[in-house]
Structure 1
Amino acid sequence: MTPQTDITTLEDIKLLVDTFYSKVQKDEFIGPIFNKKIGDRWPEHLEKMYRFWQTILLEVHSYSGSPFPPHKQLPVAKEHFDRWMEIFTQTTDTLFTGPLADEAKYRAKNMAEMFNYKIDYFRNLEKNQTNNS
């Protein structure tokens, strides 16, 4: 499938999010982590992701909240974020081409790097507090 258009509508975002998370759920490396954390709340999670990406890419302010806290305690490392990014990039490149598709990949990369950094920071902080107790 050759991507023909850029991300321009909420329907495009839903296609990206649904396709991406369908792959994530089946992925042997990161799928079990997501499936355990989200459980039977996938529809709720996907709705939140639609609003998040709609706000980021289409400047329709439908998402509010802080995306990091739910991820803070996940048992993940850089390799997990690398795999997440690999699936996201592959999905985006398969479905879309253009400036907003590039922006989605750029934002996803920055988010993955920031989440990885913050998770490491909080783990080290907790480890140091435990060692100093």
Structure 2
Amino acid sequence: MNSSAAKFKHVSEYGIRQLVDAFYAKVRLDPELAPIFERAIPGDWQPHLTKMYAFWSSVMLTTGRYKGNPVVKHLVIPGIQPPLFERWLALFDETCRELFEDAVSEEFRSKAERIAESLKLALFYRPGRPWPPEQAP
């Protein structure tokens, strides 16, 4: 959807699919995120996209369609680092702004920021241990 096209005024399953597809198309081209995602999803992306449709449907429309544990999934991703969340959020926000009117885009952004913060805390917060972890000599 280009900037002159009409933007979605409400959250819908169709809009969520458009967002997820457009966002992950950008992720796959992004120099920072693409290598991480390609290692985590080396083959067919459709199962991941389908899971993300259900995830965002559950978050935005409270459908309860998503059944999973994002923390467990992200714990096993090699190379994931806290700064990558900022890049993820920037691309996600950019895509939301392209597809949705401002109020809807803001609703997605707000939820995405809370989700990212929760994931970062679950993945990286270790009281009493420095971050990044010190490398053994």
**TM-score between the two structures when normalised by the length of structure 2:** 0.82
User: Aligned letter for 2:29?
Assistant: K
Gaps of 5+ in 2: none
Supply the distance in 2 between the matched residues of 1:114 and 1:104 (Cα, whole angstroms): 15
Q: The residue matched to 1:29 in structure 2 has which SS?
A: coil
Deviation of 1:76 after TM superposition, in Å, equals: 1.9
Instruction: Give percent identity, aligned residues only.
Output: 30
Supply the distance in 1 between the matched residues of 2:99 and 2:31 (Cα, whole angstroms): 22
Most deviating of 36-45 and 17-26: 36-45
> Where do 4+ consecutive residues of structure 1 move more than 6 Å?
none
Q: 2:51 aligns with which of 37, 41, 48?
A: 48
Supply the distance in 2 between the matched residues of 1:66 and 1:73 (Cα, whole angstroms): 12
1:1-133 mapped onto 2 (5 Å cutoff): 1-2=3-4, 4-74=7-77, 75-121=79-125, 124=129
Q: Which has the higher helix share?
A: 1
State whether residues 7 and 98 of structure 1, in contact with CA within 8 Å, keep that contact through their aligned partners in structure 2. no
Number of matched residues?
128
Deviation of 1:118 after TM superposition, in Å, equals: 1.7
User: C-alpha deviations, 1:55-97, integer Å up to 9, x for none?
Assistant: 1111222112222111013322222001000000000011101
Deviation of 1:104 after TM superposition, in Å, equals: 1.2
| Higher RCO, 1 vs 2 (CA within 8 Å, ≥6 residues apart) | 1
**TM-score between the two structures when normalised by the length of structure 1:** 0.84
Deviation of 1:50 after TM superposition, in Å, equals: 0.2
Deviation of 1:6 after TM superposition, in Å, equals: 2.6
Gaps of 5+ in 1: none
CA RMSD of aligned residues (A): 2.4
Q: The residue matched to 1:90 in structure 2 has which SS?
A: helix
